[in-house]
Amino acid sequence: MTAESADPLIAAAVAVRERAYAPYSRFAVGAALRCDDGRVFSGCNVENAAYPEGICAEGGAIAAMVAAGGRRIHEIVVCGGNEAAPCTPCGGCRQKLREFGEPDLSVRMVDPAGRVLLVRTLAELLPDSFGPTTLLQTDPVVK
Ligand code: THU
């Protein structure tokens, strides 16, 4: 076991990636997040013969958290790609993370062996984001 895979969140992301259902892209992804209450939720990508119906690993982890009553993401690890090309969250997943994470949310990207390749904040991945509080900043339009 490497020092990095001793990190339980990295270990969870590596393990759940092994369960990815990705027969079309052959690109397996795992994601593990820690909720603000300390619980860990994980998800993998689940593809579909009707390609647009596939879901991303991050989306699965977020759905598991919300279904269990969690609402705030404290940190997340995404596992995929390889040493030369880490799996960064897709655009849609960045926006999904914004719903439940602050701009300073730490997003770590690791390879399938659990080696940390890249560390970014959500604000770096999604600058000038549109988030839940943006909706509070406008006057409601009543028609
Ligand atoms: N994928 C994820 O699960 N998360 C991402 O952030 C990037 C892409 C999946 C979707 C699809 O199953 C495969 O990777 C190739 O795009």
Tokens of 5: 């895979």
* 68 in any annotated domain: yes
Distant-in-sequence, close-in-space partners of 143: CB < 8 Å, separation ≥ 6: none
The residue annotated as part of the active site, out of 4, 18, 58, 99, is 58
The answer to the question of whether 50 is labelled as a binding residue is yes
Least confident stretch, 3-12, 37-46, 107-116: 3-12
> Is residue 140 in a domain?
no
Ligand 1 site, residue 58, Cβ cutoff 6 A: yes
Tell me which residue range forms the domain holding 120: 8-135
CB of 11 within 6 A of ligand 1: the answer is no
Q: Is residue 25 included in any domain, yes or no?
A: yes
Q: Which of 22, 18, 59 is nearest to 41 (CA)?
A: 59
Inside any domain, residue 85: yes
Predicted model pTM: 0.94
Residue 83 assigned as binding residue: no
How large is the angle between the packed helices 57-67 and 91-100, nearest 10 degrees? 20
Query: Does any domain span residue 114?
Result: yes
Total number of domains in the chain = 1
- Find the CATH number of the domain harbouring 77: 3.40.140.10
Question: What does the pLDDT look like over 73-93, one tens digit per residue?
Answer: 999 999 999 999 999 999 999
pLDDT tens-digit readout, 95-133: 999 999 999 999 999 999 999 999 999 999 999 999 999
Q: Chain-wide mean pLDDT for the chain?
A: 95
Mark whether 18 is an active-site residue: no
Alpha helix segments (H runs only) across the chain? 8-17, 57-67, 91-100, 122-125
Provide the pLDDT for residue 139: 72
